[in-house]
Amino acid sequence: MNEPDDREPLPDCDAFRMLEQVCTVDPRYAGRSVLHPRVGARPMTIEDHWKDIAAIVLREGVPRVIRVHFETARNLFLNSWFVYRF
């Protein structure tokens, strides 16, 4: 495996975003599709991404400190829609 050259510029998707691009989908998500029973394949939306994450839940009785970390992780995963490396 080749090591990246430190002098090589970052790809746009890894660079600090311009303000007007902050809430746009990371290009690595833009190519994803969802299979819909009646429509067939369609582009994935942030709503699809949210529903997938919302389905991941903890059992009752999990200590608060764990729930806080868990919700932080789910929010970070949700925001990976905008910054894939999250």
Mean pLDDT of the chain: 92
The confidence band for 5, taking pLDDT boundaries of 50, 70 and 90, is confident
The confidence band for 1, taking pLDDT boundaries of 50, 70 and 90, is low
> What average pLDDT does the segment 70-85 reach?
96
pLDDT in tens, 17-49: 999 999 999 999 988 999 988 889 999 999 999
Rounded to an integer, what is the distance from CA 18 to the centroid of its chain?
19
pTM reported for the whole predicted model:
0.82
In this structure, which amino acid lies at residue 70?
A: F
84: pLDDT strictly greater than 80: yes
pLDDT, position 39: 84
Report the length, in residues, of the chain. 86
Every domain of the chain and the residues it spans: 20-79
- Closest Cα to residue 42, out of 30, 34, 32? 34
